[in-house]
Amino acid sequence: TRFRDDPRRYLDPSAQDAAPPADPGATYICPMDPEVRQIGPGSCPKCGMALEPETPAAAMRIEYTCPMHPEVVQDGPGSCPKCGMALEPRRVSAEPDNPELRDMTRRLWFSTAFSLPLLVIAMGDMLPGHPVSALISGSTRAVLELLLATPVCLWAAWPFFQRAAVSVRTGNLNMFTLIGLGVGVAYAYSVVATLAPGLFPASFRTASGEVAVYFEAAAVIVTLVVLGQVLELGARGRTGAALRALLELAPATARRIDEQGAEADVALEAVRVGDRLRIRPGEKVPVDGVVLEGRSSVDEAMVTGEPAPVAKAPGDALIGATINGTGALVMRAERVGAETLLARIVAMVAEAQRSRAPIQKLADRVAGWFVPSVVAAAALAFVVWASIGPEPRMAFAIINAVAVLIIACPCALGLATPMSIMVATGRGAGLGVLFRDAEAIERLQGIDTLVTDKTGTLTEGRPRLLEVAALEGIDETRLLALAASLERASEHPLAAAVVGGANDRGATLATVRDFESITGQGVRGVVDDTEVLVGNAALMGTAGLATPLEARAAQLRAAGQTVMYVALGGRPAGLLGVADPVKQSTPEALRQLREEGLRIVMLTGDNRETAEAVGRQLGIDEVIAGVLPAQKAEAIARLQAEGRRVAMAGDGINDAPALARADVGIAMGTGTDVAMQSAAVTLVKGDLRGIVRARRLSRATMRNIRQNLFFAFFYNALGVPVAAGVLYPFLGVLLSPMLAAAAMSFSSVSVIGNALRLGKARL
Q: How far apart are CA 139 and CA 123, in angstroms?
A: 15
User: What are the distances in angstroms from CA 200 to CA 211, 392, 446?
Assistant: 7, 11, 62
3-state secondary structure of 14: helix
3-state secondary structure of 261: coil
Q: How far apart are CA 136 and CA 121, in angstroms?
A: 9
Tell me which residue of 741, 153, 59 sits closest to 347, measured CA to CA. 59
453 counts as catalytic: yes
Q: How far apart are CA 668 and CA 435, in angstroms?
A: 12
Cα-trace Rg, the chain:
33
Does residue 249 contact residue 321 with C-beta atoms inside 8 Å? yes
Roughly what angle, to the nearest 10 degrees, separates helices 608-618 and 586-595? 70
Q: How far apart are CA 483 and CA 487, in angstroms?
A: 6
Q: How far apart are CA 603 and CA 633, in angstroms?
A: 10
- Given the residues 23, 288, 437, 453, select the one marked as catalytic: 453
N- to C-terminal Cα separation, the chain? 40
The answer to whether the Cα torsion of 746, 427, 241, 651 is positive or negative is negative
Q: How far apart are CA 159 and CA 165, in angstroms?
A: 10
Q: What is the helix (H) or strand (E) element at residue 527, kind and residue range? A: strand 522-527
Backbone angles phi, psi at 396, to 5 degrees: -65, -40
Backbone angles phi, psi at 642, to 5 degrees: -80, 0
- Please, what's the b/e burial string for 595-633 (b: 16 or more CB within 10 A of its CB; e: otherwise)? eeebbbbbbbbbbebbbbbbbeebebeebbbbbbbebbb
3-state secondary structure of 475: coil
CB within 8 Å of 52: residues ≥ 6 apart: 28, 29, 30, 31
The letter for the amino acid at 82 is K
- Please, what's the b/e burial string for 400-421 (b: 16 or more CB within 10 A of its CB; e: otherwise)? bbbbbbbbbbbbbbbbbbbbbb
Extract long-range pairs of 245-249: CB within 8 Å, 24+ residues apart. Answer: 245/430, 246/342, 246/345, 246/346, 246/349, 246/429, 246/430, 247/92, 247/93, 247/94, 247/342, 247/346, 248/94, 249/284, 249/302, 249/321, 249/342
User: What are the distances in angstroms from CA 761 to CA 245, 305, 355?
Assistant: 18, 19, 22
Does residue 649 contact residue 680 with C-beta atoms inside 8 Å? no
3-state secondary structure of 584: coil
Tell me how crowded residue 268 is: count the other CB atoms within 10 A of its CB: 16
According to DSSP, residue 605 is labeled S
Residue 151, preceding bond cis, omega within 30 degrees?
no
Q: How far apart are CA 268 and CA 730, in angstroms?
A: 69
Does residue 540 contact residue 547 with C-beta atoms inside 8 Å? yes
Dmax (CA) for the chain in angstroms is 120
CB within 8 Å of 641: residues ≥ 6 apart: none
3-state secondary structure of 76: coil
The residues carrying an active-site annotation are 453
